[in-house]
Chains A and B, each alone.
Chain A
Amino acid sequence: MLSTADINTLILTFKVAGLATILMLLIGTPLAWWLARTHSAWKGFINTIVSLPLVLPPTVLGFYLLILMGPTGIVGKITTSLGLGTLPFTFSGLVVASVLYSMPFVVQPLQSVFSTIAEQCLEAAATLRAGPIDSFFHVVVPMAKSGFLTASILGFAHTVGEFGIVLMVGGNIPDKTRVVSVQIYNHVEAQEYTEAHWLAGGLVLFSFIILLSLYTALKVQPLTHQLK
């Protein structure tokens, strides 16, 4: 069965993933909206930046984040001068890294659903006395409901599943940065296969249920379509 340490890593994992998902939705929604509507020359560039974590090895991203957020990095200097200390090997650092790493999984489903909403639909809302913010919350959000669901679930699940970047930025500190994927690695290293089975099997089940609910109950387009 699961030990206390295992349960703690699970709780920590869901905390990181939950917080990262909220942050990703807050940042990703306006970003995806902008990407879906803009004709700006910057669109391609920003799209590339957002999608980069899809193709980069997580260790590469982790390595640069470690340097950037470390005591000599730009971000590190800023956080230190704000009295926050440095972010690597902390819970906050883990969340920041997760946000960057899983962002494409939130932005892309949102962007694709936003681009299906016709400009005229928003114009219709304006002729019915709805201002831009009002239209966004009462026309766009309900029309993009499936996109928000997909984005939240994929962002959350992908954060739960990350390993490389967590190890680089978070380390392996019990109750602070040790998440479930790292814990499985620890068990295997220590040849504790039964414990590894419980955790690994649990994650398989978790992922299976999430995808199954996406594709059947919510009738969301397969992920391969959304990431086009």
Chain B
Amino acid sequence: MTTAITARFKLDYQAFHLDVDLSLPNSGITVLFGESGSGKTTFLRCIAGLERAPQAYLEVNQQVWQDSTSGLFLPTYRRALGYVFQDAQLFPHLTVADNLAFGLKRIKNNVGTTDLKTVVELLGIGALLKRLPERLSGGERQRVAIARALVLNPDILLMDEPLASLDAKRKQEIMPFLKRLHQELTIPMLYVTHDQQEVAQLADTLIILSNGEVQAFGAIEEMQNRVDISLAQERDAATVWQATIAEHESNYHLTRVDFLGGSISLPTIAANIGTPLRIQIYARDVSITLEPSMASSILNVLAATITDITDDNQGRSSISLQIGNQTLLAHITHKSAVLLKLQLGMKVYAQIKGISILN
């Protein structure tokens, strides 16, 4: 992964501290995940220069934005960034079009700005341009806010829980747009959330923050299967696989998809063979057997090797499984783990009860 951003921040408040040292990739979505108070928003604000960490070094695209050893601190308005706030923060006295133009006007000679038309189209806000923010729904406001940040063609797009203030329905309304940005733009994005679903749907790289420190950091595929981190312990813990459509079994209304290390069947997917997919398997939907049970109704049974076991001391075990080149996370009861005498390195079979498709 090519580094675009080097970020070192050390900050000590009375009730809170932040101490991170990260190199972030220059493409895709990096999700900062953590509970409230874990420091994820503070970290984002430090990158934007909205917060000034006393000890800091920040470099974005070979440009130093902050260096506490030399006292360099580029103010926010001099940093080539886009920032999306939790509650949009559109200017109430300006129409959508003028909100979009606000930043554009302030960029010298507009070189390298993303075409306004493209962005408007990408976020589907063409019909809203003449409206004032008070006449937009929460979801529309957030789309305008994202567009307003994007038209500046920033070196990095920072998003601070952009969906957190929206209800479930509005979230679903915005998610497709975020996925489109992900597919069509090359701007690296740093996305703060405490929502597992958003991690699963958007993350390429994941940073887990806890008490102001990095608990884990890596590509999403590796991260989701590490049982030692809080993400794997959550009730909604899940694994995301990259897969491609391999075959349609039309007589069974099924589609076979291949992933690194095997293939599984899903209800028919209306897409051509070879189409890439992101599939999600909840850890609670994975059970373990010692024999490849022939007498089961479960279709997807895969040979696996146990690579890690963690108990949460509340009756649940998280099992990390190796399947081909992929890993898979399973949540089973501690009792089952004991009765099956599960151990590291053991050959077992993973039965997958449910799979969801993310795109």
Contact = CB atoms under 8 A, between A and B. Distances in A.
Real binding pair:
yes
A125 B90 CA distance: 9
Interface stretch (B19-27, B74-82, B189-197): B74-82
B148 A142 contact: no
A130 B78 CA distance: 8
Main secondary structure of the interface of B (DSSP, over half): loop
A123 to B, nearest CB: 5
A125 B92 CA distance: 12
Contacts of B107: 129
A142 to B, nearest CB: 5
Interface residues of A, number: 18
25 contacts: A120-B85, A121-B89, A123-B89, A124-B90, A126-B49, A126-B76, A127-B48, A127-B50, A127-B76, A127-B77, A127-B81, A127-B83, A128-B106, A128-B152, A129-B77, A129-B106, A129-B152, A130-B77, A130-B102, A130-B103, A130-B106, A138-B102, A142-B93, A143-B92, A145-B93
A125 B78 CA distance: 12
Interface string B67-99: 000000001111001110101011111000000
Interface string A133-159: 010001100110100000000000000
Nearest to B48: A127
A166 B50 CA distance: 49
A139 B103 contact: no
B91 A121 contact: yes
Nearest to B93: A142
A202 interface: no
Interface residues of B, number: 24
A163 B320 CA distance: 85
Main secondary structure of the interface of A (DSSP, over half): helix
A201 interface: no
Contacts of A126: 49-50, 75-77
Nearest to B49: A126
A174 interface: no
A131 interface: yes
B152 A139 contact: no
A138 B102 CA distance: 9
A162 to B, nearest CB: 34
Nearest to A143: B93
Given A127-B83, A128-B106, A120 B75 contact: no
